[in-house]
Amino acid sequence: MASKATFEVYLDKAGQWRWRLRHQNGNIIATSGEGYNNKADCLAGTRSVIENVAAAPIEIILRK
């Protein structure tokens, strides 16, 4: 099954590498949340998400 999302790797205004996951409808559905000093580390971050997300549990947190 083909993915409906694409990882985009880019340089931000501060010169840091970041990734974002964009759905085919144009919505950004996830971001790196942090900048990386080099592109290789940023790409490793995307690979980590790809490898770990399928087995990640959903945790519901209720706040009062």
The fold for domain 5-53 equals: Double Stranded RNA Binding Domain (3.30.160)
pLDDT for the residue numbered 2: 81
Q: Quote the pLDDT of residue 54.
A: 86
Single out the residue of 24, 22, 21 nearest to residue 32, CA to CA.
21
Per-residue pLDDT tens, the chain, 64 aa: give them.
788 999 999 999 999 999 999 999 999 999 999 999 999 999 999 999 999 998 999 999 998 7
pLDDT given at position 45 = 96
Distance linking the first and last C-alpha atoms of the chain = 40
Beta bridge partners of 20: 8, 31
What residue segments make up the domains of the chain, in order of their start? 5-53
